[in-house]
Amino acid sequence: MEKKEPILNTNENDNIVVEEKKEIVKEEKKKVPFKAKVKNKWDNLSSKQKKFIGAGVIFIVIILITIWIISLFNKQPSNKAVIETAKVEKQVNKNQKEEKSWFSKLFSSDEDEKVEVIYPSFDIVRMEKGEVVIAGQAKAGDIVHILDNGREIGTEKADENGQWVFIPKKALPVGNRKLSLFVLNEKGEKLKSKQSAVLHVSKKGDDEVAVIMGDNKNSKVLKAPKGQDIGALRIAKIDYNEDNDFHVEGMAKKGYKVNLYMNNKLVSSVKADNNGNWVVDTEFELSKSKQVIRADMLNSKGKVVKRVEYKFTPVLIDGENSMVVVKKGDCLWNLALKEYGKGTNYVVIFEANKSQIKNPDLIYVGQVFSIVKKDSEKFVELKDKYVKENKKRK
């Protein structure tokens, strides 16, 4: 009997061989280092692919270098005082948003950026017989245009600190002058000063006046007529309306106390500031009869060292009114220039106070004039009235 050979399962043997090969391949893959893999992939790339990748890498490097160079130019110069101030502000305003970096500004819209508008302004106006020195502030680098009664008399460039000084080549003409300022912004628009300097120039110089005009509460007397002490006690203006709002402005010696009375009744006590100005804002009901306003200036011991007193009759026009007290050096033209912006509007003050003014060229210290509200119906009416009456006289 023949001996039969055992039949082998070839399929099973083949599977075993395949599995062994897979394991060997895996082991080989594990043994291949990362650098070798990259090198193999790089070697398998075509020359065009290699050039494209190289150009991309060079482009990214150039962009990074450019950003680094720009950042160097955008660094602010170190300043110890500025740094210390910034530290304090940062501690106080912890929740305040940080200032945008130059990079974020590149992608921000103009609407997001709030540009600070700096208007030109006066600081000093010194005058002697028409010879003046004018100084002020503006945005650094701005060209400040100086005008006299609307006519340009010169320009001056603000330095890096925003300061400028101007000395006219010629003395200002004798008479009433109004100095104003403006600059041109980047769009070519005029930025006019919110102030003006009102001057009265004379040949002798004894009665010259220089006042910087802001709003009614920020006027600053720079030069008074000779013999008139700027620090002396004075009531300059009285404002009131039908709601009993009462506003009085005046001057006194620096740091002195001023007691304000109406009809011998104490209304308020106030102290003159470093410029000698004092202001009272309160409520007081004015009757239609004649009123007496009085101001007493007291020294450190509480003793009255000076007193001024004025009488006036309240007249409400368009629900409110303003009174001015005539002081030495005043004229109707100057008062109109101060209250209405034009000296020619003196005719309105004249018509509103005809009972006190017989001659427009003659007004007296201590007179209290009613000032009609600008551009009101009464203002237009009084102006037209003067024009008509003047035509009849001719």
In a 3-state reduction of DSSP, which class is residue 66? helix
Confidence of residue 142 (pLDDT cuts 50, 70, 90): very high
Residues 6+ away with beta carbon under 8 Å from 293: 235, 238, 248, 260, 261, 262, 309, 310, 311, 312
Question: Looking at the domain that runs over 230-314, which CATH code has it been given?
Answer: 2.60.40.10
Do residues 132 and 148 touch, judged by C-beta distance below 8 A? no
Cα 26–Cα 27–Cα 29 angle in degrees, nearest 5: 65
**β partners of residue 132:** 127
Please give the pLDDT value at position 214.
Answer: 65
Please give the pLDDT value at position 78.
Answer: 42
Range with the largest mean pLDDT of 21-30, 210-219, 265-274: 265-274
Among 3.30.1490, 3.30.450, 3.10.350, 1.10.101, name the CATH number for the domain at 323-394.
3.10.350
Please give the pLDDT value at position 261.
Answer: 94
Q: Is the pLDDT of residue 146 over 90?
A: yes
Find the mean pLDDT for residues 160-180: 86
Cα 150–Cα 156–Cα 161 angle in degrees, nearest 5: 125
CA neighbor of 179 nearest in space, from 139, 135, 140? 135
Distance CA 238, CA 338 (A): 14
Q: 160 or 211: whose pLDDT is higher?
A: 160
Distance CA 287, CA 309 (A): 18
Do residues 221 and 232 touch, judged by C-beta distance below 8 A? no
Extents of the domains making up the chain:
121-213, 230-314, 323-394
DSSP count for the chain of H helices, then E strands: 8, 19
Phi, psi at residue 236, to the nearest 5°? -100, -35
Please report which helix (H) or strand (E) contains residue 18, including its range: helix 10-31
CA 62, chain centre distance (Å): 44
Residues 6+ away with beta carbon under 8 Å from 257: 269, 270, 271, 272, 297, 298, 302
CA neighbor of 214 nearest in space, from 206, 226, 202, 222? 222
How confident is the model over 207-266, as pLDDT tens digits? 666 666 665 445 565 665 554 555 578 888 888 877 888 888 888 988 899 999 998 899
Both tokens of residue 58? Answer: 């060079």
Q: Is the pLDDT of residue 31 over 70?
A: no
The answer to whether domain 230-314 and domain 323-394 are alike in fold is: no
Please give the pLDDT value at position 186.
Answer: 85
Cα 366–Cα 288–Cα 368 angle in degrees, nearest 5: 15
**How high is the mean pLDDT of the chain?**
76
Q: Is the pLDDT of residue 10 over 60?
A: no
Architecture of domain 121-213: Sandwich (2.60)
Q: Is the pLDDT of residue 322 over 70?
A: yes
